[in-house]
A and B are shown apart, each in its own frame.
Chain A
Amino acid sequence: MKIVLILLQLLFFIVVAPFLSGLITKIKNRFRMRQGQSIFQPYYNLKKLFFKGEVVSETASWIFKVAPFVLLASTLTVALLVPVFIFSNPLYQMGDFLALIFIFALGRFFLALAALDTGSSFGGMGSSREMFISSLAEPALCLAVFSVFLQFGSINIYVFSRMHGVSVATLAAAVALFLVAIAETSRIPVDNQETHLELTMIHEAMILEYSGRSLALIEISAQIKQMIWFFLIAQIIFPITPLAIHSAGLFLWGLWYVARIFIIVIIVSLLEVLVAKMRLFRAVDFLGFVFVLGIIASVCAILGV
């Protein structure tokens, strides 16, 4: 049973994650008065990439080949820690929020190395920028997590996702997490996934040398990572206990469960359309703001509001 649940959860993330990306693109294009590509385009892209040949730089070492697998493995490991289904799952207990942060960091570390590995100037640029952003994002993230701990006495995702009640502290922490998630999933205003301008890229510059199957692995990892963030934020802003079936009809419960993810997707899409990308070094201000939010969340948690 355990094994089935674990596999089911993995499958759920792998299958649904591209859909969320496609949905964001569709919503964005609709805002921009365009028809846009199909919601299922990310699936077609993945299929195309999986069956394509690969070009590998002559100077690349084993790191370049291994990095996509490390990235996917680390992302899927994190996916197992996030409570998704209504049933309890022993694996939820295995890691807490800090584990999540650092397992993600493992994947990013390998990707940054791989980008340097090819010897292309864009890879180096992308790596240095990605590390610059994440060195600012991680402290802010840790502080937000700290405030969650102060409130719930645990940073285990499963434990606090069962907690009820929204307070100032949880809201501030959730907003902080949301802003970090934007930086982590390389979206406007920190990064721009859609751009073709190689000089402005951050995440895209790192993976510029990848093609074919490796690129498919990296793309699906990014999509899963984004989905993980959405589920975590939804869990904090709109807490919903996995065992809440008794209090409401199953249908209403399911509707709300899905709707809160959509709300986050729509907010992300709107932000992408209505805001210009920041200057690279403005990211310091942006993530500094997130850090302050984390402090506010912690103080509020101590004060109990």
Chain B
Amino acid sequence: MDGAEVISLIKKSLPDFSALLVSQDYRDEIYLKVSPQVFQATALALHKILSSPVMMLFALDERNSAGVFVINAVFVNSKEGQWIIVSMDLSQENPVFDSLAKSIHSASLFEREIWEMFGITPQGNPDLRRLNLHDEVWPKGNFPLRKDFKTMMPGDLGEYKFNRVEGGGVFEIPVGPVHAGIIGPGHFHFSVAGEPIVNLELRLGFTHRGVEKLFEGKSFFDALRLVECISGETAFAYSVAFATAAEKISGIVTLEKTAYLRGIFLELERMYNHVNDIGGIALDVGFSFPAAYAALIKEAILQLNERLTGNRYLKKVNLIGGLALDLDESKKCVLFDALKKIKNDFNELVKMLDSSVSFMDRVDTTGVLIKKTAQDLGIVGLVARASGIPTDLRKYFPGIYQEAKFKMIPAEGGDVLSRLRLRFFEFMESCRLIEEFTVKLGGSAETKVSAPAKPETSALGYVEGWRGPVLCYLKTDVHGLIARCKIVDASSHNWQGLTYAVLGNIIPDFPVCNKSFNLSYPGNDL
């Protein structure tokens, strides 16, 4: 699909549609600039044509160069493997735009974020409470992602209002943000009638570190180190997403070998996280033997990571233009031997869990997220697949995955058991993929290509991390340094799914539902 085809498709539902600018700098990115008046209608039309949730919606402050705020909405064309970015300029005097959230639910949290970070008002959005900049500590009138923001100015503080559920026998249970275990901070506000949950509202943002601001003015090289620190257990996927965007901007065409090596490490990351979650699900229902067994498998994978790369969590492995290391024959042997043992152990673990009646009783039919709800909320990644939505960037943008005959089997049911079974399946599939990739890995000594960053260019980097898509939009300034870096983790889409999955479940089943999603706090809070 090229720009003209996109426009003709949109015209079917919007006869008098016209774009101010259409460009396609990269094969997989179509960029449509529209006027603010038709932005909402265009986004809605694309949302329906592509049946894609709003994958990203973010603002850029370009008042210095062009005197405007820019809003970009990103949709994915799953059939042809393309991203479609709809963009508009807003005047700096009156930054207001028509809210998408009324028609597209997946836009609502992004709009709240745009409002709190830039002070741009999404007109008509019914819920403009702060997300990450908590009212209790962050005075009104401070918009940190604006370029002229230097330091926080004093001002009025506010108070966050939770949605209330009223009625006989309904009471509220606030949980967190500090929990009894060593886990990420998040506030869960339950309304319950007895034990069953009537409503759950999340309040996140406690690990907000201003990551997007930190990127500003950094070179790609420095930023690569930062991006690995955003969410520790997804470090490699983040760095690949960032690197692909940076490579597009610099005009680097990576070697085929790079794709295979990245594929191997991405799947290793997926494996250790999946087995960790499987153990976590077992532990959360008090089933401690399989939990300990899963911990052993995870440790084996982490040790394998260390032997291959020198780093258990695959940090400092990826570079822009290639990788910092290569897998020679001896390392390939290590990899194959370890995988064989890991696979055997994993099969034992699956057997153990599948054959335990007490365990199955806990996970079957618990925490159901039905397909319709998941679609409406724009759920992505593993959680979406477990609810029967066939969505996977590895399928949309096949490349090496197609050659390796990657299989995606969406589970059905959407309960904890489906998410667990999907992890079983994906773990084994990852094992197979790694073996395929390793065999195909070329022998050329070259591992890295390099080129300087082009100034004032933008690109979108993406990769299917173990939770789901990790997207990274990059734009450079006149010096080739980063002007804006927007990162979207699958968690920011999926946290909403959790609040619907737990409805009707009893309070003591919440932890296992939560673990079966296992979403990231730092990846969401940024």
A197 B175 Cβ-Cβ under 8 A: no
**Contact between A281 and B359, CB atoms less than 8 A apart:** no
Chain A residues whose C-beta falls within 8 Å of the C-beta of B506 in the assembled complex: 279-281
- Do residues A196 and B286 form an inter-chain contact, with CB atoms below 8 A? no
Within 8 A of B (CB), among A270-305: 272-282
Bound CA–CA A194/B180 (angstroms): 11
CB contacts (< 8 Å) of A281 on chain B: these are 195, 506
Q: Does B123 lie at the interface of the complex (its beta carbon under 8 Å from any beta carbon of A)?
A: no
Q: In the complex the two chains form, is A32's CB within 8 Å of B288's CB?
A: yes
Q: For the complex, is B511 an interface residue (Cβ under 8 Å from A)?
A: yes
Contacts of B179 in A (CB 8 A): 196, 198
B362 at the interface (CB under 8 A from A): yes
Asked if B284 lies at the interface with its beta carbon under 8 angstroms from chain A, I say: yes
- For chain A residues 71-89, which have a beta carbon within 8 Å of chain B? none
Set of chain B residues within 8 Å of A278, measured between Cβ atoms: 358, 361-362
Residues from chain B with Cβ under 8 Å of A121 in the complex: 171-175
Taken together as a complex, chains A and B put the C-alpha atoms of A194 and B509 apart, in Å, by 16
The answer to whether A276 and B180 touch across the interface, beta carbons within 8 angstroms, is no
- Chain A nearest CB from B327 CB (Å) reads 31
Task: Provide the bound-state CA to CA distance between A196 and B286, in Å.
Answer: 11
Is B508 a contact of A275 with CB atoms below 8 Å?
Answer: no
State whether A276 touches B282 (Cβ < 8 A).
yes
Q: Which residues of B contact A277 (CB under 8 A)?
A: 285-287, 358, 362
Which listed residue, A125, A196, A279, touches B361 by the CB 8 Å rule? Answer: A279
- Bound form: Cα–Cα A277–B361 in Å: 10
Q: Mark out the residues of chain B between 337 and 379 whose CB falls within 8 Å of any chain A CB in the assembled complex.
A: 356, 358-359, 361-362
- A276 contacts B359, CB within 8 Å? yes
Residue of A nearest to B352 (CB): A274
Q: Across the interface, do A192 and B286 meet the contact criterion of CB distance under 8 Å?
A: yes
Partner of B285, one of A122, A194, A272, A276: A276
For residue B506, which residue of chain A has the nearest CB? A280
Which of B284, B291, B509 is the one whose CB lies under 8 Å from A279? Answer: B509
- Find chain B residues with CB under 8 A from A196 CB: 179-181
| B289 close to A188 (CB less than 8 A) | no
Say yes or no: is B292 at the interface (Cβ < 8 Å to chain A).
Answer: yes
A31 touches B (CB below 8 Å): yes
Asked if A258 is an interface residue, CB under 8 A from chain B, the answer is: no
Whether, in the assembled complex, A195 has its beta carbon less than 8 Å from a beta carbon of chain B, the answer is yes
A189 to B359, CA, bound (A): 11
0 or 1 for each of B260-302: is its CB under 8 Å from A? (1 = yes)? 0000000000000000000000101111110111001000000
Given contacts A276-B282, A279-B361, contact A199 B287 (CB under 8 A): no
B286 touches A195 (CB 8 A): yes
Whole-angstrom distance from the CB of B320 to the nearest CB of chain A? 40
Q: Is the CB of B361 within 8 A of A282?
A: yes
Does B252 have its Cβ within 8 Å of any Cβ on chain A? no
Q: Mark interface residues in A34-53 (1 if CB within 8 Å of B CB, else 0).
A: 10000000000000000000
A197 contacts which of B284, B291, B361 (Cβ < 8 Å)?
A: B284
B511 near A199 with CB under 8 A, answer yes
Q: Answer whether A197 and B181 are a contact pair too, CB < 8 Å, given A125-B507, A279-B362.
A: yes
Structural contact, B358 and A275, CB atoms closer than 8 A: yes
Per-residue CB proximity of A76-108 to B under 8 Å, as 1/0? 000000000000000000000000000000000
> In the complex, what residues of B have CB within 8 A of residue A28's CB?
288
**Contact B288 A273, beta carbon cutoff 8 Å:** yes
The CA-CA distance from A89 to B226 in the complex, in Å, is 72
B397 within 8 A of A: no
Residues on A with beta carbons closer than 8 Å to the beta carbon of B195: 280-281
Q: Is A33 an interface residue (CB 8 A)?
A: yes
Q: Is B75 an interface residue (CB 8 A)?
A: no
B287–A276 contact, CB under 8 A? Answer: yes
Q: Does A200 contact B (CB under 8 A)?
A: yes
The answer to whether A275 and B181 touch across the interface, beta carbons within 8 angstroms, is no
Contact yes or no, B510 A199, CB < 8 A: yes
Residues 462 to 506 of chain B near chain A (Cβ within 8 Å): 506
Residues of A within 8 A of B172 (CB): 121
Q: Give the distance in Å from the alpha carbon of A33 to the alpha carbon of B292 in the complex.
A: 7
Q: Is the CB of B288 within 8 A of A272?
A: yes
With both beta carbons as reference points, the residue of chain B lying nearest to A208 in the complex is identified as: B180
Residues of A within 8 A of B356 (CB): 275-276
Considering only CB atoms, which chain B residue lies closest to A282 in the complex? B361
Contact residues of A with B, CB < 8 Å?
28, 31-34, 121-122, 125, 188-189, 192, 194-200, 208, 272-282
Please list 9 pairs of residues, one from A and one from B, whose beta carbons are closer than 8 Å in the complex, sorted by A's number: A33-B293, A34-B292, A121-B175, A196-B180, A198-B180, A199-B175, A276-B358, A277-B362, A281-B506
Given contacts A276-B358, A277-B362, A279-B506, 19 further A-B contacts (CB under 8 A): A32-B288, A121-B172, A121-B174, A125-B173, A188-B286, A189-B286, A189-B358, A196-B179, A198-B175, A198-B179, A272-B288, A273-B289, A274-B289, A275-B287, A276-B286, A279-B362, A279-B508, A281-B195, A281-B506
The 6 closest A-B pairs by CB, nearest first: A277-B286, A196-B181, A276-B287, A32-B292, A192-B286, A276-B358
